[in-house]
Structure formats: structure tokens, C-alpha cells
Amino acid sequence: MLIIRAFFTLAAALLSFQIAKAQFNRIDYACVAFFIAGALVVYLFYLISRLKRTPLRTLLGGFTGMVVGLFIANLLLRGAPFVDLFDNPRTNFTLYLLVYSLLAYVALEVGLKKGDEFDLIRSLITKKRDDQEKIVDTSVIIDGRIADVCETGFIEGILIIPQFVLHELQLVADSSDSLKRVRGRRGLDILKRIQNQAKVQIHITEEDFPRIKEVDAKLVALAKKRDAQILTNDFNLNKVADLQGVGVLNLNQLAEAMKPLVLPGETLDVMVSKEGKEPMQGVAYLDDGTMVVIDQGRHLVGEAAKVTVTSVLQTTAGRMIFARRQNGS
């Protein structure tokens, strides 16, 4: 590819050299044309490489701005009193070229800067606001429950998978640690499973923020840019996103909200599995993983017991139930 580009650059420079030499019959003009043509072709190849990484909406913004700039220049120059001040046609042509180029360039720059804000494609394609995009975090992919939630229909619409999240997931899958490697590969399988579901669409985006190093900060920046929500089970990411006004769907909070409600005075049948931290305490777990701390239950370790709920403590880490042993159990 590099050889082909070098060939085209040299060919364009030599062609410009021959044209300038035939037109002006001066070797110095021909040499200038040679170097200018070569520089322009090299710059053209550079622009093409940049355009490949530029989002389509940014290109549309720049193109729209350039068209608007040319239209304004045409309105200004049509019938403008200062256009015919010069008798020399070359001077008039230079003035036209200068005005058109200047306004087109200014409008192009504005269009490129505002292209991300003016997302024409999404505004035409998106028919319902209910289909708000959801950006998926690495932790929720590795967790795996997201696939089951999508299957139930509680989450639908468009799931955005940033390329930097896939890169992080790939690093986990290629880790030298066997446990991390298994979790990373499981995350890739979860993505494949979600991709095969009809209720959700997975879009992989190349958008990145090179100046931001942390993945969590990139997720927040991308969510703000696309006006999307973040799907995660990371407590710290949840807090950071809330502080910056970004909507968050936390699977851990969903799982906590779906746990059966237990009120003081209710009776539970539990299996005491271990001793508690405090003297004479026993610890049991419900089917959903909720911890039950039993007063005077240490001697019941390994046995089934009937207990009465005395209080329920709700924390950010989950729910904890305190109970006492029923008489005779």
C-alpha cells in the first residue's frame, strides 16, 4: 500500500512539473509545482486515513457546513458592488476564489465541531424515545445475568458495546490467571448469547476518548455524549455516573429489589451454616443469598431451625435479616 501511494505521489508531482514547464516555460515554476503537487497528494492520503476513523455524523456535519458556506458566499458575491472594482479578470477571479474558500473553510470547521451535537442519522432512525441506548459495562458482561434479564424482556432496545470495553474483555480472556481467563471467555459467550436474541440489538461503536485513560470515565463520557444510560453492576461507577447526571441501570439493585419482602415477626425456616461474629450468633442464608443472623443460634450450626424475624437492615451492599430462635425449634 505504501509503494502504491508513493507511486501516485511521484506521478502527480511529475505531471504537475511537466504542465507548469509547458505553461510558463520556466524551470523554477515547474519545481515549485512539483513540490506543491507532491505535498497536496501526501496531505490527501493523510485526510483519507483520518476520515476512516471519523464518525459518519461528523462527516455529515462538515459536509453540511461546507455547502452552507458556499451558498452564503454565492449570495454575497452575486451582485455585490465591490466585485467589479478591478478591471483585471485574474484579480476578480482571485477575489472570488478567496471569498468562496474562506467561507467554505469556516463553515466546514463549524460543521465538524458541531457534527456530534447534530446527530442527523439517529434523529431520523430513532422513532421512539423509549428505545434509549444503553451502554454496557465490562463488569455486567462478565457477571452474566444480563443475558437472562434480556431474555425476560425487562431490557430491550439497543445495547451499545464500546470497542474499549471489548478490548478490556479481551485482556481478561487472555489473562495468565486461569480464573480471570475463564471469566473473560464466559463474558464473550454472554455477548454472543445476547446477540442472538430478538428483543435487543447490539451495536459496537468505535467511539473513543484517547485523552481519558480509565474505562469507567470513558463510559461516563460516552453516555453523556450519546445521551444514553449505563448498564452496570459496579457500585463505584454507579456513584460517579450519578454525580455527573448520567442514568444508570444497576443489575445488583434490580436483584435486590426483586428479593421477597420480609417483615419483622415473620417466621423463616433456615439451615444454620456457620457461626456469627458475635458470641452465640449463628448465620444462615436464604435461597436468594440474603444473610440471616440468628441470636443464640451458634449451637444450631449444621441444623435446620425455625426463626422469627426481629429486624431487617438494608445497606448499599445488600440486605441483612436479624432473627431469633423460636422456642422449641
Q: Where are the domains of the chain?
A: 1-52, 55-125, 128-257, 267-325
Q: How confident is the model at residue 322 (pLDDT cuts 50, 70, 90)?
A: very high
H/E/C letters for each residue in 239-268?
HHHHHCCCCEEEHHHHHHHCCCCCCCCCEE
Mean pLDDT, the chain, integer = 80
Determine the angle formed by the axes of helices 56-77 and 89-114, rounding to 10 degrees.
150
Residues 181-231 have pLDDT tens digits of 898 898 899 888 888 876 788 888 888 888 888 889 999 999 998 888 999
What are the φ and ψ backbone dihedral angles of 320, each rounded to 5 degrees?
A: -130, 130
**307 CB neighbour count, 10 Å cutoff:** 26
Residues 42-80 have pLDDT tens digits of 877 777 777 666 676 677 777 787 788 878 877 777 765
Residues 4-25 have pLDDT tens digits of 878 878 888 888 888 877 776 7
Range in 71-75, 124-128, 155-159, 166-170 with the lowest mean pLDDT: 124-128
- 128-257 is a CATH 3.30.350.10 domain: no
The two domains 128-257 and 267-325 share their CATH topology (first three levels equal): no
Cα distance between residue 329 and residue 321, in whole Å: 18
Is the pLDDT assigned to residue 303 strictly greater than 80? yes
Q: Average pLDDT for residues 79-107, to the nearest whole number?
A: 67
Q: What pLDDT is stored for residue 130 in this prediction?
A: 45
**277 CB neighbour count, 10 Å cutoff:** 7
Q: Average pLDDT for residues 76-100, to the nearest whole number?
A: 64
Is the pLDDT assigned to residue 91 strictly greater than 80? no
Q: What pLDDT is stored for residue 119 in this prediction?
A: 54
Q: Pairing state of beta strands 229-232 and 134-136?
A: parallel
Is the pLDDT assigned to residue 147 strictly greater than 60? yes
The residue behind cell 444480563 is 146
Query: SS3 of 278, please?
Result: coil
The residue behind cell 455516573 is 241
Of 129 and 160, the structure prediction assigns the larger pLDDT to 160
Is the pLDDT assigned to residue 150 strictly greater than 80? yes
Q: Average pLDDT for residues 30-46, to the nearest whole number?
A: 80
Of 177 and 85, the structure prediction assigns the larger pLDDT to 177
Q: What pLDDT is stored for residue 128 in this prediction?
A: 46
Range in 123-137, 158-172, 184-198, 278-292 with the lowest mean pLDDT: 123-137
- C-alpha closest to that of 217 among 196, 195, 234: 234
- Across the chain, how many H-helices and E-strands are there? 12, 10
The predicted model scores a pTM of 0.51
Q: What pLDDT is stored for residue 129 in this prediction?
A: 43
Q: Average pLDDT for residues 284-289, to the nearest whole number?
A: 84
What are the φ and ψ backbone dihedral angles of 201, each rounded to 5 degrees?
A: -115, 135
Residues 220-245 have pLDDT tens digits of 999 998 888 999 988 888 888 988 88
Q: What pLDDT is stored for residue 230 in this prediction?
A: 92
Is the pLDDT assigned to residue 85 strictly greater than 60? no
DSSP 130: G
What percent of the chain has pLDDT above 70?
83
Is the pLDDT assigned to residue 323 strictly greater than 70? yes
Q: What pLDDT is stored for residue 19 in this prediction?
A: 80
- 267-325 is a CATH 3.30.9.10 domain: no
